[in-house]
Each structure stands twice: as structure tokens, then as C-alpha cells.
Structure 1
Amino acid sequence: MKERSFQIDVNLKEITKHRTETLPIACYETTISENINGYIPLHWHEEIQLIIVLKGEAVFQINENQRAVKEGDALFINSGCLHMAEEKKGSNCVYICLNVLPHLFLSQELYTTYGYPYVKAPHLSYIFIDGTERWGKSIIESILKVKELLKEKAPFFEIDIVTQLTMIWKKLVSHAFQQNYPKTNTLKNERMKKMLNWIHEHYKEKITLNDIARSGQLSRSECCRYFKRILHTTPVSYITEYRIQKSLLLLLEEEASVTNVAYAVGFNSTSYFIDQFKKVMKITPFVYQQERREES
């Protein structure tokens, strides 16, 4: 049952506060299919994200790169990188997600030398962590230990967590960060963010390709190439799917009609909204509305 809504702001930044009472850290399990969209939408956050796939397989997109991660393997996603996740069809993917602000991995004195250069490296968007490799297995064990420590909250557990995080960082620096991982263009990603931010601020209005291209300081053709290369879709398709994402929660409001919701999210025709909703969600908005209200 799809019941969780992934909250992001107009800048694609995740709204969720990733912290305990004393530490800028959060750890939780995610079942991708339970998200209201059926996948984890494109977003970013200041925290570094460490993921362990517990069940099934998922395809993660990090900036313009894609990486499949199966059960038993893990992934490092760097601070500030755009990312999203979809499960491999029918795998019912479940993963542990550990979000940590970068400065927590190392002391202030060490962070300048061994932390900051990697967190800010334009070419270092992600690291695949092979669970069969000794160093990868060690990182996974440390992530699971952090999860356990957060749950039990024994005396001085915060110190134990920081110890585990430092061990994780040492393994990443010594075994992974030095390798030649796919390079990403910082300017390209910033332009992509600007275009997506503009869409998210104006999705209720009439939007043209010229508007989107202008927001990213690109030509129309370059704009289309950016969307195709990074998001594997067209600007028009992205706008349509984003409007439909926004319609999902509105449809659940009391006395909300399909027509009112269609116009509220930027469609200028109820029939076109129904047609596009059915293509994306494989169900009509009215049936979706009725089924979700019955579940509630």
C-alpha cells in the first residue's frame, strides 16, 4: 500500500530533519513501493547518505549517473547531490538509509584534511560499496552498528556512533575515494537544479520550453539535451509527472473534485489530466481517489 509522502521543497531539498536530540544523524528503513509515488523522487540534502539494500534491488540515479544496487550491497551518496531511487520491477526493495552531516565523521582538525576535499570534490557524487569485499563488508557492519546504537541508546552511545562513523570514513578514504569514479560537471548539475527549481515554483502556471531553458541559461535544444542526459526524459514529460505527483495528496482532501485538482496543479483540461494521470499511475484519478479514501 502506497502511503508515505516524500517531502521536498521547491528547490528539491528534502524537508525531513535528519537528526537525533544530540546528533545530526538519522537512520531508518525504506520500502520504495510504499512511497505515495511508488518511487523515491528526485531530491538532495546537505547530509551524506549511506544505503544498505536489505531486500530486492533498486536503481539509484545520482546526478547524471545510474547505479543498480542489489541485496547485500551498499551505496555512498555525497552531500548536495541530486538523487532518486526506483526498485527493480517486482523486487519489493527495502533498504536502510543512514543520513549524516559531513562534519560528524571526523574531528574538526581532521575534517579540513581528510573530509572537506572529498565532500566538495565535483567528481565524487557516489561510491558503490560491494558487500563481498572486505572493506565494503566492514562499512556495512558499521552502518548496522550505528542503527543498533541509535535504537538502544545505551550510556555514551553518541560517542560509540562517532567512533563507527570515523571507521566508515577511513575505509572510504583508503579504499574508494582515491579511485576514478564517474566525473560530473558541477556547472551542469547547478543548471539542472535551477531548471527544476523553476518548474517547481511555477508548475501551476502555463510553462513553455523557453521559460525552462531561460531559467538554466541555456538554449531550447541544450535544455532538452540536459533533461534527456540527466533525467532520461523530456521537459514536458517531467512537468506532467511533477504535476501528477502534486495532485496525489490534493485528491485525498475532503470534497476535492478531479476537475478542481486538475486546474490546481496546472492542467488546463480535465480530460487531459485524466489521460496523463492514467498513463503515469495506471489508474484514473477518480478510482485512485476512491480507493485511497476507502483505505483511510
Structure 2
Amino acid sequence: MIRNRNYVSTDSHRKELQDQGFRLFDLLANEGDIHQYFADCIPSHWHLELEVFILLQGSVLIQIGDNSYYVEAGEGCFINTGVLHSFTAIVPSPCIYHSFVFDSGIVGGTPGSVFDTMYVRPLLNAGPDFLKFGREAEDKSFFQQFEIAFNACAEEKPGYEFEVREAISKILLYTKEKHQTMPSRRVPTIQESRLKQMLEWIDENLRNVMTVKEIADTANICTRECQRIFSRYLHYSPMAYIQRRRLFKAAEQLSTTDAPITDIAFDCGFSSPSYFTKQFKDLVGATPKEYRTAIQENRL
């Protein structure tokens, strides 16, 4: 089954929360338009699963840690486990994508097996954080195998899991081979660890008034260093990030619950429903009520 949604649920560590039923065959096939997401952006998140992504239409900016990559229609990428990443549409036209998010055990099998030891584990430990696939002839196999796996997930014929596993295995093998001429996987910096600490604290305190000093104190750094880290990795000041995080959380609640808009406003840390409505409309061009109606009618 192909999944289409307009939000990413995360815990306080910004780790993505997967849907129920993810464990029997640990792979999710996704399709959609980046514009379906609030503010035309899939916000920064990470997951233990691997991800492969292709863009069918449009142009997207992918943020990986403190690096930015542009992906155009007809291009794709691999994202390794545990990597903080986001997707932002950079053109007004549709930005249609397909992706797989999957547990490496689909390919590696039992820990210690030849598949795990020789192929999967080296990719997880020393492979790239991000690897782009383009229109070059040598990348043709990546897109062919992706299409085979995606079509199998769409049809779900008996035994389709075998076909998907074979295609995903070939994608990972090709990724490993392409990466052999490139530097080994980058070691996360102390700043990235501190950022995750601060993001966790922010998510746990969204309902409360926060200061930059309080945020910095959670990572035992000064306010200036806190501001530098947010600017480097998220391209927002701490307070601007908090505002966007509150709006993203509110958009998710508008999409997935019937809670009154006033309750959502206070739950997400806004001082008044009117202020929430103004900030929401300034960002997306629609009031919270109009946004919820559009989501319910599948117009966004």
C-alpha cells in the first residue's frame, strides 16, 4: 500500500514516529507533493530506518545536517540512518515525490549474516549521510529498481515482499558501490548533539514561554553559541524556530484531530487564538479553520 500524508509525527527528540503496523514488513512506500505539507516543507526529523527518495516533478531543497542539496525532477537520493533532514519545495509548481523508509533488516536479515556483515553494516557505519542520484547513465539502475519496488508495493500481489526486498537490496548494493570512491560517513559533531538536546527541550515546553538563555542552558552553552547552532543547522534563530515549530504542531493537530481551534492555539503555546490565527495565516495564506476545511476536503 502506498501512503500519502501531509505531516510528519515526531517525538521530543525529533525522531519520526512510524504508523502502527510497521513491524511485520518494515517498509513504508510514500507518495505525495511537498506542497501538501504545512508551509511547503517536511520539517527537520530523523529516523533509524534508511530512506530512498526520488522526485518526479518540481524542485526540492534537502537539508542534511548543515549541508544543503538541490534535487530536480528525475533525480533521487539515499539518506542514511539517524540523519537529521528536511525537504522544502522551492518552486510553486507541484513537487511530486516517491520514497521508501525501511528497516535495514529487510536486506541484512539476521544480524551477523553475510548480507548484514558484508553489505548492510558497512553502509550504515561508514556509508554516506546523503548520496544523490542523477540522470547519468550509471545511475539508471537505481531508478529502475526503485520503480520495480514501488509498483510491487502499489499492486501488493501475493509474495510482493520478495520482489520489493530484491529491488531494495540492489539499490543498497548500488549505493555502497557508488560510495566507495567517496569519503567515509561523517561523524556527528558536538554541535549536532547539542542541537538535538535543545530541540528535545523545546518540544517538551512548547506550551510555555521560553527564552534563548533557557534553551542554551539545556545544552550547557552560552546564548551566542545557541544562536550560532540554530543558524548553522536550521537557518532560523531559536525564537523563529519555536514559532515555526508551534505552527507545524498546530497544523498537525488541525489535520488529525477535531479539537477546537482555541484549544489547539493554547496547547501549542500561543498567547491568544487571535494571535495564533494571524501567525498561521501569515505563513500559509489561510486561517486555521480554512486550512482544516481544505485538509478534510483533500484540497491540500
Give the match's secondary structure for 2:251: helix
Which residue of 20, 41, 44 corresponds with 2:43?
41
1:231 aligns with 2:268: no
In the TM superposition, what is the alpha-carbon distance from 1:217 to its structure 2 partner?
A: 2.7
Residue identity (%): 26
RMSD across aligned positions (CA): 2.9
Trace 1:89-238 onto structure 2 (pairs within 5 A).
89-107=91-109, 108-121=113-126, 124-134=128-138, 136-180=139-183, 183=186, 185-238=188-241
Q: Which residue of 1 aligns with 2:62?
A: 60
For the 8 Å contact 1:19–1:26, the answer to whether it is kept is no
Task: Give the secondary structure class of the aligned counterpart of 1:7.
Answer: coil
What is the alpha-carbon distance in structure 1 between the residues aligned to residue 29 and residue 261 of structure 2? 38
AA matched with 1:187: I
Deviates more, 1:83-92 or 1:13-22: 13-22
CA shift digits 1:87-111 (9 cap, x unpaired): 1221310111111212322352232
Unpaired stretches in structure 2, ≥5 consecutive residues: none
Q: Per-residue CA shift, 1:146-200, capped at 9, x if unaligned?
A: 1122233445433333222222122111112431378463433222111111111
Q: Which amino acid aligns with 1:13?
A: K
Q: Which residue type is aligned with residue 192 of structure 1?
A: L
Partners in 1 of 2:13 and 2:92 — Cα distance? 31
Rate the CA distance shift 1:13–1:254 in 2: closer, same or farther, 3 A: closer
| Correspondences of 1:273-292 after superposition (within 5 Å) | 273-285=276-288, 288=291
Residue 80, structure 1, aligned to residue 85, structure 2: no
Alpha carbons of structure 1 residues 184 and 21: separation in structure 2 relative to 1, 3 Å = closer
- Tell me what 2:246 maps to: 243
2:25 corresponding residue in structure 1:
23
Gaps of 5+ in 1: none
Aligned in 2, Cα 1:186/1:102: closer, same or farther, shift over 3 Å? Answer: farther
Distance 1:250 1:173, change over 3 A: closer
Partner SS state of residue 139, structure 1? helix
Amino acid corresponding to residue 269 of structure 2 in structure 1: G
Q: How far off its partner does 1:206 sit?
A: 1.4
AA of the residue aligned to 1:103: G
CA distance in 2, matches of 1:106, 1:254: 42
| Aligned partners of 1:53 and 1:69 also within 8 Å | yes
Q: CA separation in 1, counterparts of 2:34 and 2:66?
A: 21
Deviation at 1:33, TM superposition (A): 1.2
**Are the aligned partners of 1:6 and 1:36 in contact in 2 as well (CA < 8 Å)?**
no
What letter corresponds to residue 40 of structure 1 in structure 2? I
Q: Is the 8 A contact 1:5 1:37 kept in 2?
A: no
Cα distance in 2 for residues equivalent to 1:44 and 1:238? 17
User: Quick one: distance in 2 between partners of 1:105 and 1:246?
Assistant: 34
Q: Under a length normalisation based on structure 1, what TM-score does the superposition of the two structures give?
A: 0.86
Decide whether the 8 Å contact of 1:267 with 1:273 is kept in 2. Answer: yes
Q: Quick check: 89-98 or 223-232, which moved more?
A: 89-98
Matched AA of 2:87: A
- Greater shift in the superposed pair: 5-14 or 205-214: 5-14
